[in-house]
């Protein structure tokens, strides 16, 4: 197969998924686990259709209709005129992309299970309370929240991280929406064991965190030591 033929087949793979999607890696958080799995099924089905087309007998190219002075009667390598090659290229690209979507779905589900292993399904869906809180401090990328003495910050943190994983696995859709749990945030424990940090590398999201955390938090004075 000539170099030109290879270029044509690579172009065909791009057309199979549209806008060069075959060259883009699937990011798990671009859609929910369910949507990733549905996309994987759709692309697997499309790949099978391309394979069926490739395996359907077709008439050979008409040599008499080809010109250009090529000894074979073709302008390009004969493989370029074989539609089977294009169908096989599309099938390969679609199948590879389907595998990426399936892997993304599995990754989201595993992440939720690892973050929520101690929480039942009903608790995962519940919007965690941010409190009782004695202080909220703006930091680079978001906020540092200090919970009241006597409150188990680790338990609050675990529930918050669980709900964030729950929201990620569902594409941050309406069913899992809490105002403070949006795409692009990270929730982690602070240096002080009584603090929880809610952060984002996105400046717009960080500003949103700073505003919403104050709206969602249950503020108290001090707290029992």
Segment 117-133, tens digit of pLDDT: 999 988 899 999 898 99
Domain holding 158, by residue range, is 121-219
pLDDT tier for residue 4 given thresholds of 50, 70 and 90: very low
As given in the structure block, the two tokens for residue 222 are 């001090």
Whether residue 61 sits in one domain with residue 12: yes
Q: What is the pLDDT of residue 55?
A: 87
Report whether 150 contacts 223 (CB < 8 A).
Answer: yes
Please tell me whether residues 132 and 168 are part of one structural domain: yes
The stretches of the chain forming alpha helices (DSSP H) are 3-17, 33-54, 83-115, 121-125, 153-169, 203-216
Residue 133 falls inside a structural domain: yes
pLDDT for residue 220 is more than 50: yes
Final residue in a domain of this structure, among 115, 145, 165? 115
Q: Give the count of domains, the chain.
A: 2
Asked whether residue 69 is assigned to any structural domain, the reply reads yes
Please, which pLDDT band fits residue 163 given cuts at 50, 70 and 90? very high
Mean pLDDT of 1-16: 38
According to the model, what pLDDT value does residue 69 have? 52
| pLDDT score of 5 | 36
- Neighbouring CB atoms inside 10 A of 110's CB total 13
224 within some domain:
no
């Amino acid at each position: 197969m000539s170099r030109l033929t290879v270029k044509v087949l690579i172009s065909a793979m791009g057309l199979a998924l549209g806008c060069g999607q075959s060259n883009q890696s699937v990011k798990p958080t671009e859609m929910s686990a369910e949507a990733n799995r549905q996309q994987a099924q759709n692309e697997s089905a499309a790949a099978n259709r391309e394979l069926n087309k490739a395996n359907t007998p077709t008439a050979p190219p008409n040599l008499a209709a080809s010109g250009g002075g090529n000894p074979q009667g073709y302008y390009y390598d004969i493989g370029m005129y074989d539609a089977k090659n294009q169908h096989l290229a599309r099938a390969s690209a679609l199948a590879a992309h389907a595998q990426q979507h399936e892997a993304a779905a599995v990754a989201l589900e595993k992440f939720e299970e690892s973050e929520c292993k101690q929480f039942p399904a009903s608790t995962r869906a519940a919007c965690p309370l941010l409190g009782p809180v004695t202080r909220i401090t703006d930091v680079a990328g978001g906020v540092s929240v200090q919970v009241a003495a006597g409150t188990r910050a680790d338990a609050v943190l675990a529930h918050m991280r669980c709900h964030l994983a729950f929201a990620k696995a569902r594409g941050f859709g309406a069913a899992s929406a809490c105002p403070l749990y949006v795409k692009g945030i990270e929730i982690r424990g602070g240096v002080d064991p009584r603090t929880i940090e809610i952060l984002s590398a996105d400046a717009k999201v960080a500003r949103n965190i700073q505003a919403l955390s104050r709206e969602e938090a249950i503020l108290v004075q001090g707290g029992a030591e």
